[in-house]
């Protein structure tokens, strides 16, 4: 079957002002066929016809300018229906355009709204919350809102959670009400008022060495029908630690079992500082009793302004000392090089483990282990007693390297001289044998555990 040829009646209808769809229907074809006939002859201009209105052009497809307007409306935060209405097409047409573009809405940008936003600092004001509501309503993401308000992204995320209703939409009024409510609650007077029955009960029970949690639980049990005699353990802790000059803190100064002057941090524990670190709890048990030599402890002693440093290594069994020369700085790379060089100065069987604190100078500890085969273990935070031998020797070394001096002045020869002098001091725990003598004895006795190391 051949292709249809446009009948003369079709052209007559068009010249009479009938639209393409009606002219096509009059001759018994679809409007799509009519648009194709019109396009083949060069469009309405070839027939001397003028386009009427601002709808679909004679070619049967919206122009790129119309689509640009559609995308611009989406970027301003308009819905598909609203953007389609602006350019004069059906919603399903707008949805089809979006689908053709991959189904992803363009990033929202509304210069007019952004121009009304003033970046600030500190707590969010009600005006800030109104701006956040406007931005969220048109599709702005938390990261972009944080940039516009010059706040942390976490601040905006918490704010969005605070102001959401049951329908999960953010409302500035709800967020502000919750903030005001929390402020009023924070300003409430403490239940532990001096002279009250509750205060006397808490003081008496703290005097009996009851913990705040035990007191809070027992008060509810002893006074089940009297809410005025109930108090949370957190309130008691607040009175003791947050307000250390309160009357309760004065009266029960020594009542708590731990005797701490400050409260132990609550909630999530800090993450390890160094990647791939192995804690001291995994160190071999043989390192604890000093019976087997080859387990070392290390640290840095710092000079004036923490600008210079000397590395110290102490063997736990003999107390033998090695000093690391750090000529330019005490970065991780410098310490790693010095450590690798020092390990090569003694026999391999004398290196079973090394214990260090969680300082950043050991950020390359895995490279040290890979290069030398020495496993490195790290102390718990703020626990210098887990490196007792090293802490003692560092205090002794301050006789040679006083605090506040420039430690870069001491070269390798001077450090070796100081180490030799320290290693020649007799030690009581060694039966007044010197560390140097103890180390030499271990190396010269093949029957000792050192010699049997694999």
More confident residue, 181 or 159: 159
Q: Report pTM.
A: 0.43
Count Cβ atoms within 10 A of the Cβ of residue 183 and give its class: 0-12 exposed, 13-18 middle, 19 or more buried.
exposed
Give me the pLDDT at residue 268, please: 52
Which of 39-43, 60-64, 117-121 is the least confident region?
60-64
What is the average pLDDT across 402-421? 90
Give me the pLDDT at residue 353, please: 92
pLDDT in tens, 184-236: 666 666 677 777 888 888 888 887 878 888 888 999 999 999 988 898 888 88
Contact 80, 74 (CB under 8 A): yes
Q: Element (H or E) spanning 74, and its range?
A: helix 64-75
Q: How confident is the model at residue 320 (pLDDT cuts 50, 70, 90)?
A: very high
Which of 131-140, 310-319, 408-417 is the least confident region?
131-140
Structure token digits, residue 187? 């300003």
Q: How many C-beta atoms lie closer than 10 Å to residue 171's C-beta?
A: 16
Q: How confident is the model at residue 54 (pLDDT cuts 50, 70, 90)?
A: very low
Q: Which residues contact 255 (CB under 8 A, 6 or more apart)?
A: 206, 207, 209
Whether pLDDT at 413 is above 80: yes
Whether pLDDT at 305 is above 70: yes
pLDDT in tens, 233-283: 888 877 766 555 555 656 555 555 555 545 555 555 555 567 888 888 888
More confident residue, 21 or 431: 431
Length of the chain: 454
pLDDT in tens, 123-180: 888 888 888 888 888 778 888 888 888 888 888 999 998 888 776 789 888 888 888 8
Whether pLDDT at 417 is above 70: yes
Structure token digits, residue 87? 């350019």
Structure token digits, residue 345? 């100065």
Q: How confident is the model at residue 448 (pLDDT cuts 50, 70, 90)?
A: very low
pLDDT in tens, 344-374: 888 888 899 999 988 888 889 999 999 888 9
Q: Average pLDDT of the chain?
A: 80
Q: How confident is the model at residue 452 (pLDDT cuts 50, 70, 90)?
A: very low
Q: How confident is the model at residue 446 (pLDDT cuts 50, 70, 90)?
A: low
Give me the pLDDT at residue 453, please: 36
What is the average pLDDT across 316-320? 91
Q: What DSSP string describes 323-376?
A: EEE-SS---HHHHHHHHHHHHTTS-GGG-SEEEE-S-GGGTTHHHHHHHH---E
Whether pLDDT at 88 is above 80: no
Q: How far apart are CA 117 and CA 143, in angstroms?
A: 15
Give me the pLDDT at residue 444, please: 83
Contact 298, 354 (CB under 8 A): yes
Q: How far apart are CA 212 and CA 192, in angstroms?
A: 13
Give me the pLDDT at residue 209, please: 78
More confident residue, 242 or 340: 340
Q: How many C-beta atoms lie closer than 10 Å to residue 324's C-beta?
A: 21
pLDDT in tens, 33-45: 887 787 787 777 7
Give me the pLDDT at residue 300, please: 93
């Amino acid at each position: 079957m051949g292709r249809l040829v446009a009948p003369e009646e079709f052209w007559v209808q068009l010249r009479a002002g009938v639209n393409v769809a009606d002219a096509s229907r009059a001759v018994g074809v679809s409007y799509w066929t009519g648009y194709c006939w019109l396009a083949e002859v060069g469009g309405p201009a070839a027939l001397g016809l003028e386009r009427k209105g601002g709808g679909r052009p004679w070619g049967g497809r919206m122009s790129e300018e119309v689509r640009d307007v559609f995308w611009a409306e989406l970027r301003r935060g308009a819905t598909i229906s609203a953007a389609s209405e602006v350019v004069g097409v059906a919603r399903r047409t707008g949805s089809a355009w979006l689908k053709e573009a991959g189904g992803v809405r363009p990033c929202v940008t509304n210069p007019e709204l952004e121009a009304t936003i003033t970046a600030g600092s500190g707590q969010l004001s009600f005006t800030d919350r109104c701006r956040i509501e406007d931005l969220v309503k048109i599709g702005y993401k938390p990261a972009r809102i944080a940039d516009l308000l010059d706040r942390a992204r976490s601040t905006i995320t918490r704010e969005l959670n605070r102001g959401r209703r049951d329908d999960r939409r953010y409302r500035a009024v709800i967020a502000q009400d919750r903030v005001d409510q929390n402020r009023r609650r924070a300003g409430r007077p403490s239940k532990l008022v001096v002279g009250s029955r509750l205060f006397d009960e808490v003081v008496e029970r703290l005097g009996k060495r009851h913990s705040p949690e035990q007191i809070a639980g027992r008060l509810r049990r002893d006074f089940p029908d009297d809410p005025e005699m109930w108090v949370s353990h957190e309130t008691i802790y607040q009175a003791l630690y947050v307000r250390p000059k309160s009357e309760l803190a004065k009266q029960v100064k020594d009542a708590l079992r731990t005797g701490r002057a400050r409260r132990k941090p609550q909630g999530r524990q800090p993450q390890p500082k160094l990647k791939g670190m192995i804690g001291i709890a995994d160190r071999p048990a043989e390192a604890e009793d000093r019976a087997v030599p080859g387990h070392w402890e290390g640290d840095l002693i710092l000079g004036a302004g923490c600008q210079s440093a000397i590395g110290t290594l102490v063997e736990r069994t003999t107390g033998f000392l090695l000093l690391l020369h750090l000529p330019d700085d005490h970065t991780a790379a410098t310490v790693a090089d010095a450590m690798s060089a020092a390990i090569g100065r003694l026999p391999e069987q004398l290196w079973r483990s090394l214990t260090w604190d969680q300082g950043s100078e050991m950020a390359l500890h895995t490279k040290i282990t890979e290069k030398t085969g020495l496993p490195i273990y790290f102390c718990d935070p703020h626990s210098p007693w887990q490196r007792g031998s090293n802490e003692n020797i560092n205090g002794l070394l301050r006789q040679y390297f006083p605090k506040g001096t420039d430690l870069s002045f001491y070269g390798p020869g001077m450090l070796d001289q100081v180490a030799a002098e320290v290693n020649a001091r007799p030690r009581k725990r060694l039966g007044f044998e010197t560390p140097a003598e103890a180390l030499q004895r271990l190396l010269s006795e093949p029957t000792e555990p050192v010699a049997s190391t694999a």
